[in-house]
Amino acid sequence: MTPAQPTPDSTSSPARPSTIQDVAREAGVSRAAVSKVIRNAYGVSDRMRTQVEAAIERLQYRPRVAARAMRGASFTLGFEIPQVGNDFLTMIVDGATEALATTPYQLIIAPLGRDQKGDVAINSLADRQVDGIVAISPRVDPAWLERIAERTPVVMIGRHDRSDRYDTITGDDRSGAEQVMSHLVGLGHRRITHLTIHPSRPEPPWAGQAGDEPHVVRTAVYRERMHALGLEPTVVHTLFDGSEARTATRALLDSPEPPTAIFAGNDTLAIGVLSAVAEAGLDARDVAVVGYDDVPIARHPLVSLTSVDQSGAAMGREAARLLLERLEGRTEAVRLEIATELRARRSSAELSRLPGP
């Protein structure tokens, strides 16, 4: 053994964590050899592998991600999510975490602060040289995102746009919204109000593609179906966090001709709607409520919210898979569309007090 031991004083200064150099010395091989072993790269003999692995174990070596990222990969995939508390997004993250469990990749999430735009978080992930990015904010500039995607694989979840540079995963919002409308109309509803989040404001410069956003698609389908039935569509816009949904619903219920059904753009809003309905002493017999996303709480018997399942977990799994594919060399863009399924529950089941046709 060489006298250059890893400084046996463990009391005063916090012992320097070992580096690839230390491992190489301990195993009696070169740094490059150790590097190949930890990356599972080609060209290492069994004997060397076991030697190096033993040295790694003895020295408790862990590669520094920052140093790896300087030349190679960071083995990190980044999720940009606009709202930490949103259960639908949570399902997506869960799915991806699951899919990555058996890979050397670690998932990190960059949450958005209130009033922060998605590009801040995406930039921040890019600065950290993650090997791939999953973006969910539908309102970042596609052109800008393509520039990011030139350097780092990107999967955009939710937005129906078409890009040659990044992959997209969407739910089938058109069919999902159709299912909702058929369901409500089938129950006999005519005064159906649609409640959704505010459109981008101020209008973004790429506004021509606003129809890409999932909520906008759902709203469009709502309008089409109402018109087709000769009914007047009523669309109410609120903030995305559900607080405004409650007050907006209260106003609707107090109006001279209150709706008999409310189609909310997502479950967060629908939960807010249900608050107002319950607080007004009403229930599904007075106002049917339908949401979108089928978050876990929707199936709780006290809530029992009719919703559209677009399988967030599958979206997350697929997003992870698409990124891994890109990292393995795929270059053509892929577009995935996830099928939707209506989960009819009590919030839209009973119709006793519906006005006659």
- Site residues (CB under 8 A) for a second copy? 14, 17, 62-67, 69-70, 74, 76, 84-85, 87, 90-91, 93-94, 97-98, 100-101, 106-114, 116, 123-124, 126-129, 150-151, 271, 274-275, 278-279, 296-297, 300-303
Considering beta carbons, is residue 208 or 301 the nearer one to a second copy?
301
**Residue 247 site contact among DNA, a second copy, none (CB < 5 to 8 Å, cut-off depends on kind):** none
Report the amino acid identity of residue 93. Answer: V
Q: Is 135 helix (H, G, I), strand (E, B) or coil?
A: strand
- Strands of the chain, DSSP E: 76-81, 106-111, 132-135, 154-157, 167-171, 192-197, 234-238, 261-264, 288-290, 307-309, 335-338, 341-343
Considering beta carbons, is residue 76 or 168 the nearer one to a second copy?
76
Considering beta carbons, is residue 65 or 338 the nearer one to a second copy?
65
**Residue 234 site contact among DNA, a second copy, none (CB < 5 to 8 Å, cut-off depends on kind):** none
Considering beta carbons, is residue 30 or 255 the nearer one to DNA?
30
Give the footprint of DNA on this chain (CB under 7 A).
Answer: 16-17, 19-21, 28-36, 38-39, 41-45, 47-48, 61, 63-64, 67-68, 70-73
Separation of alpha carbons 268 and 84, rounded Å: 13
Q: Is 28 helix (H, G, I), strand (E, B) or coil?
A: coil
Least distance between a second copy and beta carbon 18 (Å): 13
**Residue 100 site contact among DNA, a second copy, none (CB < 5 to 8 Å, cut-off depends on kind):** a second copy
**Residue 29 site contact among a second copy, DNA, none (CB < 5 to 8 Å, cut-off depends on kind):** DNA
Report the amino acid identity of residue 105. Answer: Y
Burial of 31 (0-12, 13-18, 19+ CB in 10 A): middle
**Residue 128 site contact among DNA, a second copy, none (CB < 5 to 8 Å, cut-off depends on kind):** a second copy
Least distance between DNA and beta carbon 16 (Å): 6
Least distance between DNA and beta carbon 89 (Å): 31
Least distance between a second copy and beta carbon 350 (Å): 15
Sign of CA dihedral 122, 128, 129, 134: negative
Q: Is 199 helix (H, G, I), strand (E, B) or coil?
A: coil
**Residue 43: which H helix or E strand, with range?**
none
Least distance between a second copy and beta carbon 16 (Å): 9
Terminal-to-terminal C-alpha distance of the chain? 93
Contact between 353 and 288 under an 8 Å Cβ cutoff? The reply is: no
Q: How many CA atoms lie within 13 A of 47 on its CB side?
A: 2
**Residue 296 site contact among DNA, a second copy, none (CB < 5 to 8 Å, cut-off depends on kind):** a second copy
Phi, psi dihedrals of residue 252, rounded to the nearest 5°: -60, -45
Least distance between DNA and beta carbon 310 (Å): 37
Least distance between DNA and beta carbon 30 (Å): 3
Helix H, strand E, coil C: the string for 143-181 is HHHHHHHHHCCEEEECCCCCCCCCEEEEECHHHHHHHHH
**Residue 73 site contact among DNA, a second copy, none (CB < 5 to 8 Å, cut-off depends on kind):** DNA
Least distance between DNA and beta carbon 323 (Å): 17
Considering beta carbons, is residue 60 or 352 the nearer one to a second copy?
60
